[in-house]
Amino acid sequence: MRALSLAALLAGPAFLTSPAWGSDRLTFTHLSTYETAVFDEGAAEIVVYSAQTQKLFVVNADAGEVDVLDISDPASPTKVNTLSTEAHGKGANSVAVHNDLVAVAVVGPSKQEAGKVVFFDLDGNEKGAVPVGANPDMVIFTPDGAYALVANEGEPSNDYINDPEGTVSVITIADMTVRTADFSGFESVPDGMRIVKPGSSVAADVEPEYIAVSADGSTAYVTLQENNGIAAIDVAKAEVTNLLGLGYKDHSQVPLDASNKDGGTNIKTWPVMGMYQPDSIVSFEAAGQTYLMTANEGDAKDYDGWSEETRVAKLTLDPTAFPNAAMLQENGNLGRLKTTTSMGDTDDDGDHDVIYSYGARSFSIWSTSGELVFDSADDFERITAARLGRNFNSTNDENDKGDNRSDDKGPEPEALTAGEIGDKTIAFIGLERVGGVMAYDVTDPVNAQFLGYHNNRDFSGNAEAGKAGDLGPEGLAFIPAAQSPSGKDLLVVANEVSGTTSIFEIVLN
Helix (H) or strand (E) holding 356: strand 356-358
For the chain, how many structural domains are there in total? 1
Cα–Cα distance measured from residue 54 to residue 74, given in angstroms and rounded to the nearest whole number: 9
Find the CATH number of the domain harbouring 415. 2.130.10.10
Supply the pLDDT for residue 22. 61
Supply the pLDDT for residue 21. 56
Would you give the end-to-end CA distance of the chain in angstroms?
25
Cα–Cα distance measured from residue 126 to residue 417, given in angstroms and rounded to the nearest whole number: 28
Helix (H) or strand (E) holding 208: strand 208-213
Domain assignment present for residue 379? The answer is: yes
Length, in residues, of the chain: 509
Contact, 367 vs 360, CB < 8 A?
no
pTM to 2 decimal places:
0.96
Domain assignment present for residue 370? The answer is: yes
Instruction: Tell me how far the alpha carbon of residue 93 is from its chain's centroid.
Output: 14
Cα–Cα distance measured from residue 70 to residue 34, given in angstroms and rounded to the nearest whole number: 10
Domain assignment present for residue 394? The answer is: yes
Contact, 243 vs 205, CB < 8 A?
no
Helices (H), 280-376: 325-328
Domain assignment present for residue 1? The answer is: no
Cα–Cα distance measured from residue 120 to residue 136, given in angstroms and rounded to the nearest whole number: 17
Give pLDDT tens digits along the chain (509 positions). 443 333 333 333 333 333 445 689 999 999 999 999 999 999 999 999 999 999 999 999 999 999 999 999 999 999 999 999 999 999 999 999 999 999 999 999 999 999 999 999 999 999 999 999 999 999 999 999 999 999 999 999 999 999 999 999 999 999 999 999 999 999 999 999 999 999 999 999 999 999 999 999 999 999 999 999 999 999 999 999 999 999 999 999 999 999 999 999 999 999 999 999 999 999 999 999 999 999 999 999 999 999 999 999 999 999 999 999 999 999 999 999 999 999 999 999 999 999 999 999 999 999 999 999 999 999 999 999 999 999 999 999 999 999 999 999 999 999 999 999 999 999 999 999 999 999 999 999 999 999 999 999 999 999 999 999 999 999 999 999 999 999 999 999 999 999 999 999 999 99
Domain assignment present for residue 186? The answer is: yes
Cα–Cα distance measured from residue 31 to residue 159, given in angstroms and rounded to the nearest whole number: 46
Domain assignment present for residue 123? The answer is: yes
DSSP for 90-106, please give it.
SEEEEEEEETTEEEEEE
Q: Write the CB contacts of 496 (distance below 8 Å, at least 6 apart in sequence).
A: 42, 43, 44, 45, 61, 472, 473, 474
Question: Residue 369 to residues 53, 214, 247, 366, 479: CA-CA distances in angstroms?
Answer: 38, 13, 13, 8, 30
Domain assignment present for residue 432? The answer is: yes
Name 244's bridge partners.
230
Supply the pLDDT for residue 455. 99
Name the residue among 375, 413, 278, 366 with its Cα closest to residue 1: 375
Domain assignment present for residue 187? The answer is: yes
Cα–Cα distance measured from residue 118 to residue 232, given in angstroms and rounded to the nearest whole number: 25
- Per the structure, the complete domain to which residue 338 belongs is given by 6-508
Question: Residue 72 to residues 40, 52, 79: CA-CA distances in angstroms?
Answer: 28, 11, 12
